[in-house]
Amino acid sequence: MDCIFCKIIKGDIPSARVYEDENMIIIKDIAPQAKYHYLAIPKKHFADVTEMTADDAVLVGNMLRKIGELAPSLGLDGGFRLVSNKGADAMQSVPHLHIHILGGEKMSDKMC
Ligand code: 5GP
Ligand code: ZN
**Residue 58 lies in domain:** 4-111
Nearest by Cα to 24 from 75, 67, 54: 67
* Number of domain units in the chain: 1
Nearest residue (CA) to ligand 1, atom 4 = 92
Measured from the alpha carbon of residue 44, the closest ligand is: 2
- In three-state secondary structure terms, 28 is strand
**pTM of the predicted model over 0.85:** yes
Q: What is the CATH number of the domain that holds 52?
A: 3.30.428.10
DSSP letter string, 12-37: SS---EEEE-SSEEEEE-SS-SSSEE
Please tell me the residue having the least CA distance from ligand 1 atom 21: 30
* Tens digit of each residue's pLDDT (9 = 90 or more) over 55-110: 999 999 999 999 999 999 999 999 999 999 999 999 999 999 999 999 999 998 77
pLDDT tens, position by position, 7-45: 999 999 999 999 999 999 999 999 999 999 999 999 999
